[in-house]
Amino acid sequence: MDSSNLNTNVLEKTLQDGKLYRHVNALIVAHLRDNNLNQAASAVASATMTPLNVEVPHNKLLELVAKGLTVEKDEMLRGIPSSTLLDSSIPTGYGSIPAPRVVSVDFSAVHDTKGSSKSFLKHETRHVSEHKNVARCARFSPDGRFLATGSADTSIKLFEISKIKQMMLSDARDATTRGVIRTFYDHLQPVNDLDFHPKNTILISGAKDHTIKFFDFSKTVAKRAFRVIQDTHNVRSVSFHPSGDFLLAGTDHPIAHLYDVNTFQCYLSANVQEIGVNGAINQVRYSSTGGMYVTASKDGAIRLWDGVTSNCVRAILGAHGTAEATSANFTKDQRYVLSCGKDSTVKLWEVGTGRLVKQYLGATHTLLRCQAVFNDTEEFVLSIDEPSNEIVIWDALTTEKVAGWPSNHIGAPRWLEHSPVESVFITCGTDRSVRFWKETN
């Protein structure tokens, strides 16, 4: 190679390296700025000659780091002996997870939306199973293929969605078609919450018996958990980190317990302001990248936590007054949190500022640990009205109540959960029943 070609290649590599550094610097500045770390953002921008107002997709740095860590982990695991938790017990994965049907709604883009509410299409419903006691919780798998429900009778039922749909066909008279494909019995007290591993066919449950249990549902004969985490408190809520390497437990303790899935070591944030005696966590949920998590507490507060340091970065005290905050979930783009409380309100909060963006009124819930959830496209919000025993649906942008449907439960449903990938949802009741809701064609 002659010297001119060599110099050209060196120059191209230098330019490419410089472009990469500029891109990384821009991601760092945008990440700090979007998380309200303005002083740090200004310092990095000044030191690297990066514009402070550089335009970068929200949470792009977290997204790239999460992807990189996943690749790094996959590379490390190649050739390593099976000796950790998810060793020979690793079931087959879900396969590809469908992308959302539409991009998540940008609530900051629309201001005057009166008179523009969308219609929530009619759904048909069917009783698909029944526990021996109150059906307390439900969760869909990330790919929407499976559904699990937990009960006060200590059992967990696993459903396959395709089989439920087959049951609901008008010409399906075959009584042998059942949606339930597994039933697990391993808790000593009522089951409070469930979650699916993001990659492997593993289901976890948190219960009043102070345990988190791991079930491998790829094994057709397994009725018992193959791993157990013994906590010190009533486990009220569980949430897997998107990597599958960690999980959070929301308990009667005011700080979420972070567990390493492979070692079962528990970590607690040491940098937390004093939380009142009634700060037990009703629900904990990770954001889509794991960069943050949110807790909804009995003291009425919604708290946002850094997913890496476990530091509380924002506490929205009195988010639901003095009433319990019963649920909290991130939007897909992680910019907002939807919360529900026993003050009969459903609220949308901006993560970056803690500002109340929208409020959904017209559903009374003061007794049960009620959920408020988005549908799969985030165009609608669903919750429960206890006195009328109705499922209430609002247009997410306009906050207008667009539907109120009889729940068909005896008594108001205790739990409502929507599929992440299609227009189906589930309700669980104090009447012990599990009902499946599917959009009418």
- Does residue 42 sit in the same domain as residue 165? no
Residues 49 and 189 in one domain: no
Of 40, 56, 72, which residue sits at a domain end? 56
Identity of the residue numbered 63: E
Task: Tell me, yes or no, whether 45 lies in a domain.
Answer: yes
Residue 76, domain member (yes or no):
no
Type of residue at 227: R
**What is this structure's pTM?**
0.77
Average per-residue pLDDT in the chain?
Answer: 84
Assess whether pLDDT exceeds 70 at residue 48. yes
Higher pLDDT, 439 or 14: 439
DSSP designation for 161? H
- Residue-level pLDDT at 194: 97
Residues 283, 400 within the same domain:
yes
In this prediction, residue 85 carries a pLDDT of: 44
- Fill in the amino acid letter for 9: N
pLDDT score of 136 more than 80: yes
Task: Please check whether residues 273 and 183 belong to one and the same domain.
Answer: yes
Q: Are residues 417 and 286 in the same domain?
A: yes
Q: Is 150 helix (H, G, I), strand (E, B) or coil?
A: strand
**150, part of any domain:** yes
More confident residue, 58 or 12: 58
Let me know if residue 32 belongs to a domain. Answer: yes
Domain stops at, among 41, 56, 71: 56
Q: How far is it, in rounded angstroms, from Cα 247 to Cα 245?
A: 7
Q: What is the pLDDT of residue 78?
A: 45
Model pLDDT for residues 207-239, shown as the tens digit of each residue: 999 999 999 988 887 789 999 999 999 999 999
Flag whether 163 is in a domain. Answer: yes
Alpha carbon distances (Å) from 16 to 12, 20, 57, 251: 6, 6, 22, 49
Q: What is the 3-state secondary structure (H, E, C) of 234-265?
A: CEEEEEECCCCCEEEEEECCCCCEEEECCCCC
Contact 54, 41 (CB under 8 A): no
The secondary structure element, H or E, covering residue 359 is strand 356-360
User: Strand 356-360's sheet: what is its strand order?
Assistant: 325-330, 336-341, 346-350, 356-360
- Beta strands across the sheet bearing 281-286: 281-286, 292-297, 302-306, 312-316
Could you tell me if 350 and 273 lie in one domain? yes
What's the pLDDT score for residue 268?
Answer: 81
pLDDT of residue 197: 94
| pLDDT tens string 79-134 | 433 334 444 333 456 555 555 555 567 777 655 556 678 888 899 998 888 888 88
Q: Report yes or no: 192 and 206 within 8 Å, Cβ to Cβ.
A: yes
Distance CA 103, CA 219 (A): 35
CATH number for 275:
2.130.10.10
Same domain, 253 and 353: yes
- Mean of pLDDT values over 23-39: 83
Q: For 247, phi and psi rounded to 5 degrees?
A: -145, 155
pLDDT grade for 40, boundaries at 50, 70 and 90 = confident
Tell me, yes or no, whether 184 lies in a domain. yes
**pLDDT of 310 above 70:** yes
Q: What are the structure tokens assigned to 386, written together? A: 């206890």
With a cut of 70, say whether residue 145 has pLDDT above it: yes
Q: Are residues 356 and 225 in the same domain?
A: yes
Domain termination site, one of 14, 40, 56: 56
CA–CA gap between residue 220 and residue 224 (Å, rounded):
11
Residue 177 sits in the same domain as residue 309:
yes
Residue 405 DSSP code: E
Summarize the confidence of residues 372-380 as an average pLDDT. Answer: 94
* Alpha carbons 56 and 23: distance in angstroms, whole number: 10
Domain-embedded: residue 179: yes
pLDDT of residue 213: 94
Give me the mean pLDDT over the 431-439 stretch.
92
Asked if residue 36 and residue 170 are part of one domain, the reply reads no
pLDDT at residue number 175 = 54
Which residue's structure tokens are 């949308």? 348
Residues 189 and 47 in one domain: no
Does residue 342 belong to any structural domain of this protein? yes
Structure confidence at residue 24 (pLDDT):
84
d(CA 256, CA 236): 10
292-297 and 302-306 as β-strands: parallel, antiparallel, unpaired? antiparallel
Top-confidence residue, 144 or 48: 144
- Residue 422, pLDDT above cutoff 70: yes
Q: Which is nearest to 258 in space by CA: 275, 279, 281, 278?
A: 281
Q: Give yes or no: residues 156 and 289 share one domain.
A: yes
Percent of the chain topping pLDDT 90: 49
φ and ψ of 11, to 5 deg: -65, -45
Q: What is the pLDDT of residue 14?
A: 55
Compare 379 and 85 and report the one with higher pLDDT.
379
Percent over 70 (pLDDT), the chain: 82
Compute the distance between CA of residue 355 and CA of residue 424 in angstroms, rounded to an integer.
31
Residues 18-44: b if buried by 16+ CB within 10 A, e if exposed: eeeeeeebbbbbbbbbbbeeeeebeeb
Sequence-ordered list of residues with C-beta below 8 angstroms from that of 158, at least 6 positions apart, any chain: 146, 147, 148, 180, 181, 182, 183, 184, 203, 217
> Which domain covers residue 51, as residue numbers?
3-56
The per-residue pLDDT for 425 is 95
Give the per-residue pLDDT at 388. 93
User: Which segment of 10-24, 127-141, 243-257, 292-306 scores lowest on mean pLDDT?
Assistant: 10-24
Quote the CA–CA distance of 376 and 269 in Å, as a whole number. 32
pLDDT grade, residue 65 (50/70/90)?
confident
Where residue 30 falls among pLDDT bands split at 50, 70, 90? Answer: confident
Number of domains in the chain: 2
Identify which has the larger pLDDT, 78 or 188. Answer: 188
Q: Which residues have a Cβ under 8 Å from the Cβ of 183 and sit 6 or more positions away? A: 155, 156, 157, 158, 223
Section 352-357 average pLDDT: 93
